[in-house]
Structure 1
């Protein structure tokens, strides 16, 4: 719904812009005259060629620009427009609407100022990668239109644009300018109609409303994401505008008090478009909106507004779009709707978005009186009650309906024929079962469908799939839908996202489902093979979850074309055979779950070719199922547990240095844990339990300081647990079932610890690096040597007076010598 809202707002803004230009605000776009015989002025042609040399045009889209004889007339170059009378270049437009390829920028040649007659300059979306803004553009004083948005210029904000006093259109949005201290240059642009400084840091410009008020011709103002502060009331005293402002976008700033409404009240009669979303506005919806008689779009979403009786809306007779989503609105929805349909707004309102609030009660039948409604979104509230045909029977223009995540019940007659054709249907958690809703059969144009958790328990009707050819997103999860995919022969026109988990679907998986981007069929009763993955149409598949079904057979050795596959979950099925080596050819895979199947053979070493793994970690530990969330927020894992895999753990697995979770438990793996296990420095959880792994625990495992979950239980490991704060900090149960393991945290002491006794059991020596010379005899000899040396020197000084006097005399002499040397050195440094 948010996407629709943004498109609708852009449409309104664009309409305002066209209206403005129709009234004479736009520059004169001279049409390219294919009959022009004269060439462009040589000085200007050279300036354009110098400008081209500062660009990186890998697609050669500017191939018409050149010095060759057939390219002499620059007025025929792409993006260049000249005067039919004088031949002077009037426009240089390399914006995306003209240039469809990507062009990079290295610099802007100063020779551009040779285009003295230039009126229109648009370089939008050419990435100049943070280079200094070309201040000489301030010398192009004939400019009326300047669009340098998304060009990523850096450095100090170019106040020199204040010299362009003929400007009517200025867009400097989405650049990388440093903080702006003031907008003193802005009032110099007295002819300005359109201003966009979005993503420019204006956090220190508290008098921005006063500056804007000094632009008498301004109709469109966009300051999106500028970190704008709330205006100071004292700065609002200067009001000398022409009341022409029609479109204002101040979304996603720091506006947090009523002063912004005081300023906006000066434009009551002119405002058509107002976006204050994403600020810190709190309290009740102010009455100031009631005076904005021309307002067609109002967006107050993503704020902290409260209450639920916006009486000021009662006087908005032109209102078409209203977005109050993601606030703290409460109270009865019926009162809210009553205000809207009891006024003239019922004849104009096309979009109503009140999702993510705290509205209660039922949806009144009077909603049907808003006959112009095209989009309704009441999702994520606390609504309850029954929805009948009466609610919807008059909404003939409805295109999108979202009532999801409420406690609503649909009570609609099976033969009811809706008056609308919906594009988007979001009714998740709305109860409409046990029968499959037959009114959906009349909806021929939907692309988005969500009827998850709807209490549907009968068969999937045969007519349903015929409606899904153009579907983009479909969610039927958490129902009890029965049936099969039999006789599906059509092809999807897109690569849709299908969520069909937690139902009772049976039978084989049809090949038609290979042409999807996201497929979740988990927790059903599907059977047969997964040969549909061999279809060339599966190239678009990025997510596949077939877990908890009855899928059987082998994983086909045809996975090399699944170049977009990111997540593959085939766990809890009856798949058998070897894991194909082509699994290593799925280079983008991030999550691989094959647990609880009947795989045999060795782990394929080709896994080293795969990139890292992203998901939650679910594994069996300490006798129960555990879910572990990474503190990194990005899970990268392999889960091949509960199969019949044999052989050693391939050392190649340590090439996956981004691995966060590795679960190979409950297999028949043998051999030793690779000493290179310490290469997996990001490992959060490691489960190798219930295998036949032998040998010592590698000391490198103790160097993985991120390790938070470990289970090595029920193997044949031996020797001492390597010393390290990580490994000694785990519960002893992670090592249980390894009868030859010893050392902390286990109670079983190692043999050398028993020989030394309890007082000497702290061992800071690496087991694998232990020096054979360091024995018990070594420690005894070191102790005797220390005693002999100590008493040989100190004992003599204690018991012999003459020796003690001699030693103290020596120390005093040494002290005097040092004092003299230091004094002489200081004098030498001073003289130097």
Structure 2
């Protein structure tokens, strides 16, 4: 014993030396590889990856895989225990051979761009993964497909599983497979295109505490059978029935999301017993009956509440002070009555307030001002009838939408960190505040349809992140500001009093897809320069926020939603002159082109034939723009009168042959009734022109193809041509005849 004790310091020193030597060997980034099997498995995984961003470049430059990006090893054994490659923009194959790492307990490959999942064909390759506790393959785009979940069976230690955004519609036994995982606590399968939910006798949720099956195709009756859950998300399925009593007896339930389903009935008062609840989303169902402060009397921990899109009768006491302080509240598309709910004024921690389209007209000015000034993230008050002057307020939220109200006075001060603001369809007046110069992060500015005036500030050139600028339907004047953001995708200056020439810089905005300068006082000629409007020539990915405006296109006014895939160019109703530059007709992705009501001259070039995406073309009311050089509408069974006073009369009758029900010049087969339709004296010349340009977008494509008339000497070409005519003729027939029939009815 004495001998052993005397040798103890030496033995400890030796053990320490060996441990230090082993660790130094495993951390020598240039010489030593800790385990050859782990090394080979990682290289096999890496082989199928296209790492265009170079996020895992260390996997090629460093020999020690324990120093590779996203790889973590045990300090003692040197074996791989964790792989975390979340949000690394990786593409290519997601090879699950990586599950063969014997000591792996954590794997996260979520939020990447893998194209396909490869599962090892030999089951024993992953039998050693019984140590795996955490597995997340979710949210890869484009959506991955997986036929079966059988490969999960060996993962007996798995506690967390997230396969959200993986298409599993071919897996019909998903729940049975999941039920074989004895340690599973958290299961997330949202957006998986699942359509079969297990019947109650197979429903085994005793071990699971977190269950997210939202955004699938389930159709089932919400029944009893939820046991130990603390987190339940079934959002956006087709679940029907009433909320079961067992669900409202889960004293540990913290998150409950049943929104966007077909649930019915009234909300039981026992909802108020869920004292641990901090997240309650039950909006967008078919619930009915009353809901009052009694339902929330014990929900002291409630933090987020969504009752939107509901038919509840709200009966909250005027003097009720809730036991909770919310950070998120959504009551959109509910009937709150004409007065802003008084209990909301007591919420001091709100970061998100969504109460749009709720019929609100009146607010307590002082309390309302204090409330919206302290909200830090999002305010949605759109589509109400709020009449209030907020010009002296400073709004500190990042997303602000108060459109379609009756707000008056000047524009409010906005947080320098604001990301998106929509103040459209109100009665704001005056000029744009000088304080707005600090909004360096602003992406979207929508001031459409107010009473704003003055010049656009020069500091607009400092808003370098701006992508959408909509100041249309106001009373702005002066010239278009120079030096605007190079990130602009949408510019709408329509229906103001802007003057001067069109700046050449507008044609160097490579992201621009929507330019509307119509109904102003712009003059001079269009710049003859290289048009670097890349996104109007080739479709590129855009970050455009969808927005809705009133637009004049296809010959009529209508509410129009600007979508990222549409390209529009509108300079109509100005005083522009000179020839239309050839560069304009090289913007082959344009779908709407309106140059009407100007003073353009010259001839439209043949290159317009390459604009195959054109849907609406309006060149009316210019001095001397020659449009169609050839027209052939034959054999289409068109019906009605050819609009008069247009270029359509400049072609001979052969252009219309094969349309026995078509009449009017240059044809002479109209009946007396057709020649003198009722109220003809009241027909508006502008309406007649609209009928022409309604179908012109298709007609010009057919017309310019006809320039190459010699092709019809070859039968194969001729047949191909008439097949094209038949296809576009269908569209032309519908649009033109509907318009002509409406003329006859008038």
TM-score by length of 1: 0.65
| 1:456 paired to 2:386 | yes
- 1:302, 1:186 → 2: CA distance? 26
Find the counterpart in structure 1 of residue 135 from structure 2.
171
Does the CA-based 8 Å contact 2:360-2:384 persist in structure 1?
yes
**Distance apart, 1:573 and its partner CA:** 0.7
Cα deviation, 1:405-457, whole Å, max 9, x if unaligned, reads 12212646999961532111111123443456432333324321122233222
1:554 counterpart = 2:498: no
The answer for the alignment partner of 2:237 in structure 1 is 303
| Residue 563 of structure 1, CA deviation | 1.4
Q: Is the 8 A contact 1:617 1:661 kept in 2?
A: no
Q: CA deviation at 1:278?
A: 2.6
CA contact (8 A) 1:428 1:450 kept: yes
SS of the equivalent of 2:308 reads coil
Match of 2:499 in 1: 576
Given candidates 552, 570, 592, the residue that maps to 1:639 is 570
Cα gap change, 1:698 to 1:260, in 2 (>3 Å): farther
Change (3 A) 1:643 1:454: same
1:202-217 alignment, distance < 5 Å: 202-217=168-183
> Which residue does the alignment assign to 1:545?
470
Question: Which stretch of the first structure deviates more once superposed, 450-459 or 584-593?
Answer: 450-459
Question: Once the two structures are superposed, what CA deviation does each residue of 1:445-500 show, in whole Å capped at 9, x if it has no partner?
Answer: 432112223322232252x21xx23x1111111122111148x5xx7342421111
Give the structure 2 partner of residue 530 of structure 1.
456
Q: Is 1:281 the counterpart of 2:218 in the alignment?
A: yes
More displaced 10-residue stretch of structure 1: 409-418 or 502-511: 409-418
Highest RCO, 1 vs 2 (Cα 8 Å, sep ≥ 6) = 2
5+ residue gaps, structure 2: 1-18, 537-543, 657-662, 669-702, 714-746
Q: Which protein shows a greater Rg?
A: 1
Task: Identify the residue that residue 310 of structure 2 maps to in structure 1.
Answer: 381
- 1:519 is paired with a residue whose SS is strand
1:612 and 1:143, CA in 2 relative to 1: closer, same or farther beyond 3 A? closer
The answer to whether the 8 Å contact 1:395/1:420 transfers is no
643, 646, 653: which one aligns with 1:736: 646
Matched, 1:440 2:368: yes
Question: Counterparts in 2 of 1:49-68, with a 5 A limit?
Answer: none
Which residue of 264, 267, 287 corresponds with 1:336?
267
Q: Distance in 2 between matches of 1:611 and 1:724?
A: 37
Conserved? CA contact 2:145–2:168, under 8 Å: no
3-state SS in 2 of match to 1:522: coil
Alpha-carbon shift at residue 741 of structure 1 (Å): 5.2
| Among candidates 674, 689, 701, match of residue 620 of structure 2 | 689
Q: Do structure 1's residue 267 and structure 2's residue 208 form an aligned pair? A: no
**Counterpart of 1:313?**
247
1:388 positional shift: 5.2
CA contact (8 A) 2:513 2:567 kept: yes
Q: Deviations over 1:696-721 (max 9, x none)?
A: 6134xxxxxxxxxxxxxxxxxxxxx4
| Aligned-partner Cα distance in 1 for 2:633–2:342 | 71
| Partner residue in 1 for 2:417 | 494
Structure 1: how far apart are the matches of 2:182 and 2:342? Answer: 60
From the superposition, tell whether residues 665 and 199 of structure 1 become closer, same or farther in structure 2 (CA, over 3 Å). closer
Rounded to whole Å, the distance in 2 between the matches of 1:413 and 1:204 is 48
Q: What is the aligned partner in structure 2 of residue 326 from structure 1?
A: 260
Q: How does 1:800-815 map to 2 (within 5 A)?
A: none
Q: Aligned-pair distance for 1:576?
A: 1.0
Counterparts of 2:347 and 2:169, CA distance in 1: 50
Give the match for residue 691 of structure 2. Answer: none
**8 Å CA contact retained: 2:279, 2:303:** yes
Give distance in 2, aligned partners of 1:154 and 1:530. 53
C-alpha RMSD of matched pairs (Å): 4.2
Given that 1:674 and 1:698 are in contact with CA atoms closer than 8 Å, whether structure 2 keeps it comes out as no
Residue 197 to residue 765, structure 1, CA distance change in 2 (3 Å): closer
1:670 paired to 2:601:
yes
Q: CA deviation at 1:578?
A: 0.9
Q: Give aligned pairs, total.
A: 623
SS at match of 1:601: strand
Structure 1 residues without counterparts, runs of 5 or longer: 1-31, 103-124, 227-251, 700-720, 752-763, 775-832
Structure 1 contact 306–329 (Cα < 8 Å) conserved: yes
Query: 1:279, CA displacement in angstroms?
Result: 3.3
